[in-house]
Each structure stands twice: as C-alpha cells, then as structure tokens.
Amino acid sequence: MHDLKKFLDDKVDAFNGPDFIADDPISIPHRFTLLQDIEISAFFAAIFAWGGRRVIVAKASALMELMDNAPYQFILGHRPADLRRFESFRHRTFNTTDLLYFIEFFAWFYARHNSLEEAFLAGRGAETALNGFYHTFFSLEDVPDRTRKHIAAPEKNASCKRLNMFLRWMVRNDGKGVDFGLWRRLSAADLICPVDLHVARVARYLGLMQRPVVDWKAALELTENLRSFDPADPVKYDFALFGLGVMERYGYAV
C-alpha cells in the first residue's frame, strides 16, 4: 500500500497543474472571476460532463455565449423573450426544457442567496449535502419530470459523478491552480471521489474498488480506500485515477 500511495501521489503531482485545465470542462469556469459566474458555469460544465471532453467544453462554451458570457447577470436580468435563444440548445439528452428549468432554479435561488454553496449545506457530509441539494433543486412548482434525471442523488444510489466533480472544483483548495477552493463551509475531507467507467476500471485494477457496478456504494468504497492515503483530502486522487483512465484509452499501461 505504501508503494501504491507513492505511485498515486506521483500521478496527482503529474496531472494536478495548470496544464490540466485547457482540455478539461473545468476550463469553462476558469474564464470567469466573479464567484457566481464561476458557480453557474462550473455547474453547467459538470452537468454536461458525459461523453468526450472536447464536446463537453464546446457545448458549455456555446451555452456561455448564449448567456452573453455573463451567466450571473443573465440569470438575474433576463426577460422572457431572452429565453428564445435556447430553443435549439441540446447536449445529448439535455434539452431546452431542462435548460429552462435550470435557469428558473438559478434565478429563484440567486434572488435569495449570494452563493450556490447554500444549497449544499443541509447537513454534514457529502451524502446529506447531495440529497439536500437534490430536493432544493426540485423544490419549485411544475418541475418537468424529464429534468429529474439530470441531477443525481445518493438516496437513489447514483454515483453522483458529475456533482461530486463539481464539489471537488468548488471545495478543494490546494494552491495548484486547478480546483477553485471558493467554498469554505464544506470540507475537502468529506468529499466523495467522482466515479465514472474510466475511473472505476483503473480503481479496480489497482485494488481500490471491488464493487462491480458504478453506483453510490462504489463511490463510497473507493473514497474510503483513498482516505487511507490522505484523510484530509482523499479526492485529490481523482486527478491520478482520471488521468490514468484517459491515458489507458490511448494505449498506455497503468
């Protein structure tokens, strides 16, 4: 285990740096400086994060352009006629109906709160935070049934990969310039490692995860093993596992 920790620490050092940003969805919020712009753009970039990274970045970029590259100002200041520009927006199964509800939620929420962090403070720990966020997000009237599939929750045994990635971006603060570390009331120690098929494959190969399916229990299993390497910041190893998974796709050995 000592050798594995050193191997993963070296991979974290290799991937967790400014060079990581350009091709990753996290490049979208790095375009902004205002807290709320970072939160909104990061949330959309994370929610769009399935499929190839180039497509994800392109779609998130297109959405930011439709919001005049000022998402917070657009969310709070738009008029009904301004929403027509989204009529043809699509990303995989995410469509205009979903986007309009997301905009409605953000307009409602930011009229009452300064930061999206408030929506994740239902209680201590990532599981409570994510379940609380799910219910807050869908607390408005007339929620489209189809939109619920785009926000995961531990209570549904979903791995919550995209939301866990979003929380990593907003909470971790290691000074390396990738994650933002803007939220101070959630602890990096309580974060859960984002798990997709690539990360799961590498984690099983390294003996860090045994569960055969990618779900919430798998994410907890992996994170608990990573805590044995760094209890204060287990999710930093997402850089190593994701980086190895991407490299593996291009023929490099783990």
Convert the pLDDT of each residue in 106-156 to its tens digit.
Answer: 999 999 999 999 999 977 789 999 999 999 999 999 999 999 999 999 999
Note whether residue 180 is domain-resident: yes
- Report whether pLDDT(23) > 90: yes
Q: Looking up tokens 């984002």, which residue turns up?
A: 194
Note whether residue 254 is domain-resident: no
The residue type of 30 is H
Note whether residue 59 is domain-resident: yes
Token readout for 24 is 């990753």
Query: Is 176:110 a contact under the CB 8 Å cutoff?
Result: no
Please calculate the CA angle 44-86-78 and round it to the nearest 5 degrees: 85
- Report whether pLDDT(254) > 60: no
Q: Is 174 helix (H, G, I), strand (E, B) or coil?
A: coil
Note whether residue 77 is domain-resident: yes
Distance CA 80, CA 175 (A): 41
> Which residues lie below 8 Å from residue 46, measured CB to CB, with a gap of 6+?
25, 162, 163, 165, 166, 169
What's the number of domains the chain is made of? 1
Query: Is 53:242 a contact under the CB 8 Å cutoff?
Result: no
Token readout for 217 is 């229990």
Q: Is 214 helix (H, G, I), strand (E, B) or coil?
A: coil
Using CB atoms within 10 A of its CB, is residue 182 exposed (0-12), middle (13-18) or buried (19+)?
middle
pLDDT of residue 251: 39
- Mean pLDDT in the chain? 94
Note whether residue 8 is domain-resident: yes
Token readout for 252 is 């490099």
Note whether residue 178 is domain-resident: yes
Token readout for 1 is 């285990």
Distance CA 116, CA 43 (A): 10
Average pLDDT on 57-64 reads: 98
> Which residues lie below 8 Å from residue 77, measured CB to CB, with a gap of 6+?
none
Q: What is the pLDDT of residues 166-179, one digit of tens each?
A: 999 999 999 999 99
Give residue 85's domain range.
2-249
Indicate the range of 77-81, 110-114, 118-122, 235-239 predicted with least confidence.
118-122
